[in-house]
Structure 1
């Protein structure tokens, strides 16, 4: 209903895909659903659900199939950016970390498990997990979620590939969403720097020297969701504009 997930929904709807979206809060879901329908005239179904709740995920999947007829594409996109546990070690809360992992790693597993039998019957499917570039650098304890998702993605790819189901992962970096401007304004006020200077400073470690927009991440996801991505599965693909000097062969 927000951020990258919303951008992906709009990108797919623009390609003529019928859309089902879920989140924990009904009000933003209803607004996004109306915006999608008004913009594209596509079929849109929405329902509140929580990736930490197996029953709610199973119900969302079955309800979506009843409403739309089938599910070809699953986009797993959940959890707070950066996670609940940053550090240092002395203040790290193990219970919050477990909640992070339950929402994102186990949550993506729940959704994939619920949908995979249906995709097997179809003989075709795309599962795309949204993780994060914290998987490729240290500094945040909750970043371990994204490493775990890389492993889950490859494991599911091997299991589901023979059924025509491709499973991939997208690592966004710092991404511009509707939450970015208020956050930047707060940082600007606290640190006494202009918004332009803050933007420039935050882009120095990015090859394209700017923040990537959520719509650009959505473009990558939309390609992976399409038949054009038939040769790509089990991969972790960065969509951060070229973050850092590391090489990943």
Structure 2
């Protein structure tokens, strides 16, 4: 059973729910995101509720040295690393002609560079522990998304990178999984600038706990790896694929 995990994007939504799910397994957690106060609060909750060791490591995944420091701090604190959950991500803009360069770079640096930096830094430790590498993908990384093609492209990149890394390190005992949600009721931005938590009522779309439960399942397999899990709202294909 895994003993230590890093969760990026851990200050809210899927990341926060995932930290709770893994802590419920008795796994010590390093929480990574930019909001230090939120991370400290969540870490205290995890320690109080589950009796695990949880540490807040404020991290901007776009910064290579910060990500390397996150992994180093985790290994030093816990003596190793068994699970990395690449969850940090964001969406900016809509149509290509309306997307400014700063938003384009912020999105690609977070969704692609951040995933690469974390994976590269964690893989030697995951190889040593024969651990689990879990990527949060997206419905948008599998099907065309005309209203936000750049975001979709970053998630196609994540999925392709994840499966290719899996092919590279599988014979070294590392399990690589991709979990693909459609809309989830979180602070994540919708297409009109509002968050999905504001756009959708409870029960309309997937809740963070559902994605976190899938991540927990993938990250705690003892002798197998989960390649991919899709969690789509039940009417997703009806209103998306015309």
Distance 2:81 2:15 in 1: 17
The structure 1 residue matched to 2:134, chosen from 128, 144, 151, is 128
Deviations 1:17-71 (A, max 9, x none): 1111111121111111111111111111111111111111111111111111111
TM-score by length of 1: 0.81
Q: 1:78 aligns with which of 78, 88, 92?
A: 88
Kindly state the Cα deviation for residue 114 of structure 1 after the two structures are TM-superposed: 0.2
Q: State the partner residue of 2:97.
A: 90
- C-alpha distance in 1 between matches for 2:89 and 2:111: 6
Of 217, 221, 225 in structure 2, the residue corresponding to residue 223 of structure 1 is 217
2:124 maps to which of 117, 133, 138: 117
Contact 1:223 1:229 in 2 (8 A): no
Q: Measure how far apart 1:241 and its partner are.
A: 3.1
Structure 1 moving runs of 4+ over 3 Å? 177-180, 182-187
**Would the alpha carbon gap of residues 37 and 105 (structure 1) be closer, same or farther in structure 2, given more than 3 Å must change?**
same
Q: Would you say the 8 A contact 1:175–1:214 is kept in 2?
A: yes
Note the residue ranges of structure 2 that are not aligned, 5 or more in a row.
1-10
Which residue of 26, 49, 62 corresponds with 2:59? 49
Q: Which residue of 2 aligns with 1:203?
A: none
C-alpha deviation, 1:183, in angstroms: 5.0
The corresponding residue for 1:144 is 153
**2:163–2:176 Cα contact (<8 Å) kept:** yes
Decide whether the 8 Å contact of 1:7 with 1:218 is kept in 2.
yes
Equivalent residue number for residue 99 of structure 1: 106
Which whole-Å deviations, capped at 9, do the CAs of 1:82-123 have from their partners, x for residues lacking one?
x11212x3312233212211111111111010011112222x
1:239 is aligned to 231
Secondary structure, in 3 states, of the residue corresponding to 2:237?
coil
Q: Note the alpha carbon deviations across 1:168-219, whole angstroms, 9 max, x for none.
A: 1111111123679x957966xxxxxxxxxx649xxxxxxxx73211001101
Contact 2:187 2:197 in 1 (8 A): no
What residue in structure 1 maps to residue 174 of structure 2?
165
Q: TM-score, normalised by structure 2?
A: 0.83
What is the number of residues matched between the two proteins?
221
> Distance between the aligned counterparts of 2:221 and 2:47, measured in 1?
24
- 1:204 aligns with none
Query: 1:40 aligns to what?
Result: 50
Query: CA 1:178/1:245 → structure 2, altered by over 3 Å: closer, same or farther?
Result: closer
* Change beyond 3 A, Cα 1:23–1:6: same
